[in-house]
Structure 1
Amino acid sequence: MVVRDKTTFNPAKILVLGFLSLILIGTILLSLPIAVNGDRVPLLDAIFTATSAVCVTGLVVVDTGTTFTMFGQTVIMVLIQMGGLGFMTVATLIFMALGRKITLKERIVIQQQFNQFDLQGLVRLVKYIIFLTLIVEGIAAIILGFRFTQLLDLDYATGMFYGLFHSISAFSNAGFDIIGEYRSLTPFVEDPIISIIIPLLFIFGGLGFTVLVDLKRSRNLKRLSFHSKVSLLITSILLVIGFFVVLILEWNNPETLGAVDSGSKIWSAFFTGATPRTAGYNVLPTDELTNPTTLFLMVLMFIGASPASTGGGIKTTTFGTLLLTVNAVIRGTHDVNFLERRIPYSLINKALAIIFISLVLVFIVATLLMITENATFEETLFETISAFGTVGLSKGITPNLTPVGKAIVIVTMFIGRLGPLTLAFAFARGKEKTGVRYPEERLLIG
């Protein structure tokens, strides 16, 4: 009889518990009287806000700029930073500050968090991640701080706080704003500095820390790893396609690009085409976009950012693997090859599993929201994909969700941030390997 070891180390479960702990702490802090203007926010709204911040989503049920005090906004900002960097990155930073060595088990959890292939160089990777994050966010915070000070007529201290908040939120692909009245960045649709700096932040954050570190080390595109090349290629293609689709479909829409000065149409279209990559900010009113644009944005939100990034979705490399597999099947080739490299079938199977589970999850959540909410099919599907992809774009129904609807979206954001496979690995019970391999049999497909 085989005795199962109940103390088997499960890194995926540690990640789940770590993120849950951050959400719990955030909920408690946001429930304090000092965190809100006026009456305390309901407990469910505090949980929703904390989850959205830790899971770097950006969907809100109360307006961040008017509901929360500077203390509450600071709590949200810190939760976004921790959620964007990842639970184990923050824990590693604390361990290093205390002079404690990183154990093998902790390295395995870091490996799980960043989807790395081996354990070598993980602590060095974390140091690079923290360094790059602080540098990028710091420079952007100063630029945005001065700009917000000018545009909103703020004092320098408040303006710099605005700059820091939106810099962290953008780089973490969170999409939270403190402009007020659920306006996101629509008041700055014709401002080139904000409309360019913010997209650059969430594009860099969405590339993935692995790619950013690789770019810093290699300094040459030809010497980049296979993963980095694929991530950069898919990201570039999606950004270009997104830009042209929005520009063409919204050019004459009087509620979106049609109302924008001709000189601002280009960067407004670029911003709108890039933001579904899990950023959540918008300079054009999302609820006024045409149906074809809305459908296209849903596809981009579902794909999301790259692995080991601050974004969600099924990830660019997963989508790319699917395209390459389909191409190989159509061409009748046995191997899936790209850039003179062969993708192993284990990764192809993993990509297919992620896509299938994600589609099933979106279908179930959208169906439940259609039952519980007074909203259209388009609104519920858009909100579902936005929550799963940790995007934060909204058709405007999130503030009016029922308690059941809020709970459903909370769970969806959590699954989207951790990833469906991570949660499956955390709670699935693996069977003991018997060494038996069954006979092969054919099945009619198609």
Structure 2
Amino acid sequence: MKDITRTLASFVAQVQWEDIPPKVRHEAKRALVNYFAVALAGCSDPGISKAVNVYGRFSSGREAGLVGRGERTDILNAAALNAMSANVFDFDDTHLPTIIHPTAPVAAPLFALAQKSSLSGKQWLLAFVLGVEIECRLGNAVSPGHYQRGWHITSTCGVFGAAAAIGKALSLDNTQLGWAFGNASAQSSGLVETLGSMSKSISVGNAARNGLLSALLAQEGFAGPEQPLEGERGFLRVMSEAAEAHVDAAFATLGSEWELLSNTYKPYPCGVVLNPVIEACLALSTTAGFSFANVERVTLKGHPLLRARTDRPNITLGREAQVSAQHSVAVSLARGRAGLAEFTDAVVADPLLRAFAGRLEFVDDPSYSVESAQVTVALRSGETMSRRIDAARGSLQAPLADTDLENKLRELAEYGGSGCEPGPLINSLWTLESAPDSSLPMHLACS
């Protein structure tokens, strides 16, 4: 637990584009294709519209756009609202070792800054890679106890990623980056209890906004503590009882291994632990002899986190459905689909699906990874059907292809109804590295 703040600040300050391996560069672009896909899907969500209206009352400018919308606002509000849009449907990327959704808190403030300050595509991508690296390394250090304790790790670690990314984009020196981390440490918050509600979006938006603010303050000489991360009452010790045991491993490979390569993209709009469950249910729904009307009982066997995060039988909202195994199993088996249209308030209210909740049971098995699950269906005839998924589609073992991500953007752009033309946006993301102006994707994504 020695000199972690200084080590990370020096790392961010010194790394150059030439130090980033080609595979990591490409993964950064994949993350952006997914980011715009989910942000375009969420841009017209009623909760986001409410937030846009309230935040707009306090806007100090019109420098930055909002993905999929016509309003313009100041860069702090834009950072918050665009991060919220990308996370609102739980359809964004997932860093599997930590369950952090890394892109929204980092990309949103960087694109906001890019609309106010001149940043080339290479400068933007370098800052993005480093921001993701910092948030996920800190996540590694406080995991698994931090999230299990109830801290919303995307929010608590995302603010540091945003601060690092903006700090790099602003060319802050080692001391200023340390101050940025200190400023971020004063704003690291978010609770798992808010999942399934509109409130969850606040802390994700705050991570983006406050990380941007932290770096801007540091640029002006607004100083933080010397050891905001490793100090006796710093982030690592306060936020995790076991951080000291994990810290060496968390930072040992800094600069030689990259956390973006542990990032994944979801095929379904739900908590990541539900991906293998839905995949198994969709396969069972097409099995000869299966009938949803004849289902007597369904047993889910998986990692204990599956029950801990998704045992939600009495939901009433589409947001809650995104983290409800009862709904996910019922809708996948009954309708043979699991897209955004299946996770709305109206579908949650379907009496047929609601009546199913009591027929689901969990079996915890720590030998399962969060990417695996087994679904066993007992029919009234006495027959049983079972499907085990060892590596869900979208996992590191079965990743979505580039074309899958492009198709996801096209589908979700249409779902969100923004009128954004996907083709030019997709092309701008794949070619961002050579772009003289990194704000082009935002111009294409705003209506």
Tell me whether the two structures share a fold, i.e. TM-score over 0.5: no
Name whichever structure is richer in helix by fraction: 1
TM-score by length of 1: 0.30
Greater relative CO (CA pairs within 8 A, separation 6+): 2
TM-score of the superposition, structure 2-length normalised? 0.30
